[in-house]
Homo-oligomer: A and B are copies of this chain.
């Protein structure tokens, strides 16, 4: 339980002060936050809120979208906000193909170059960038980084303190090479963030909001927990579930179910 972190996206409509109080109430000490939410509440006020409740911020979502105009300033701001909120890790979602383009390799290479440009800022801020591979169904419109192998290749030129990877079970569960790549991520000291969500079907239109609480779907989450444990990673395990039906419920109820779900896959048998 001490490794559990509630990613705010799981309780999307729970206002930050209520979320902070609700976490304390439930014995939760760690949260992963989102930029739009802490911006809405004020980044400094959000930090104070977390501190006042004794909550540790495990990650901030997110930078990236490297093909957008203004990507450099946007990512520098994201790094600053991560430092301000006290998050050791900033998740990066690379963005999809530039409009009208089909050159995935080229798009991925450009992502790598642009991450390189952020390395000095990340080191200066003490914020580790976490390259997050998203499921291949997002490759065209959201993230050209689809596998852990690709994320590790992109991270390779940079110091681990600046660039790591995110292991999100929802995106990686289908990949038979992921186990070897998790081992590699450990060996190369790149595991920056570990997130749990389960794979449930049928997928909804747009495929973004159909994730399941851990244990409700097809992903072998226990195997992921064991594999990430085996790398020596002892950091937080976030639960991050985008699901409209879940979101429609009261925050405390979602959190209670999230904790039950977390225990069901993380508890030793």
Chain A residues within 8 Å of B, Cβ to Cβ: 96-97, 102-105, 108, 135-137, 139-141, 146-147, 150, 173-176, 199, 201-207, 217-220
With a cutoff of 8 Å between Cβ atoms, the chain B residues found around residue A103 in the complex are 220
Whether A203 and B137, one on each chain, are in contact in the complex, defined by CB atoms closer than 8 angstroms, is yes
Distance in Å from the Cβ of A213 to the closest Cβ of chain B?
A: 15
Whether A104 and B207, one on each chain, are in contact in the complex, defined by CB atoms closer than 8 angstroms, is no
- A201-B141 in contact given A104-B176, A146-B174, A218-B97 (Cβ < 8 Å): yes
Whether B207 and A203, one on each chain, are in contact in the complex, defined by CB atoms closer than 8 angstroms, is yes
Whether B201 and A203, one on each chain, are in contact in the complex, defined by CB atoms closer than 8 angstroms, is no
- A176-B203 in contact given A135-B136, A136-B136 (Cβ < 8 Å): no
Q: List 8 A-B contacts (CB under 8 A).
A: A102-B220, A104-B173, A104-B220, A136-B137, A137-B203, A141-B201, A203-B207, A205-B205
Distance in Å from the Cβ of A89 to the closest Cβ of chain B?
A: 25
Selected contact of A205 from candidates B96, B139, B140, B204, CB within 8 Å: B204
Interface of chain A: mostly helix, strand, loop or mixed: loop
Bound Cα distance from A146 to B175, whole angstroms: 8
Stoichiometry, copies per complex: 2
A96 nearest CB neighbor, chain B only: B218
Distance in Å from the Cβ of A178 to the closest Cβ of chain B?
A: 10
Distance in Å from the Cβ of A136 to the closest Cβ of chain B?
A: 4
With a cutoff of 8 Å between Cβ atoms, the chain B residues found around residue A219 in the complex are 102
Whether B139 and A174, one on each chain, are in contact in the complex, defined by CB atoms closer than 8 angstroms, is yes
Whether A150 and B136, one on each chain, are in contact in the complex, defined by CB atoms closer than 8 angstroms, is no
Whether B140 and A137, one on each chain, are in contact in the complex, defined by CB atoms closer than 8 angstroms, is no
Distance in Å from the Cβ of A94 to the closest Cβ of chain B?
A: 13
With a cutoff of 8 Å between Cβ atoms, the chain B residues found around residue A206 in the complex are 202-203
Bound Cα distance from A135 to B135, whole angstroms: 10
Selected contact of A207 from candidates B97, B137, B141, B217, CB within 8 Å: B137
With a cutoff of 8 Å between Cβ atoms, the chain B residues found around residue A201 in the complex are 140-141
Bound Cα distance from A176 to B103, whole angstroms: 11
- A105-B136 in contact given A202-B206, A205-B202 (Cβ < 8 Å): no
With a cutoff of 8 Å between Cβ atoms, the chain B residues found around residue A139 in the complex are 173-174, 199, 218
With a cutoff of 8 Å between Cβ atoms, the chain B residues found around residue A203 in the complex are 137, 203, 205-207
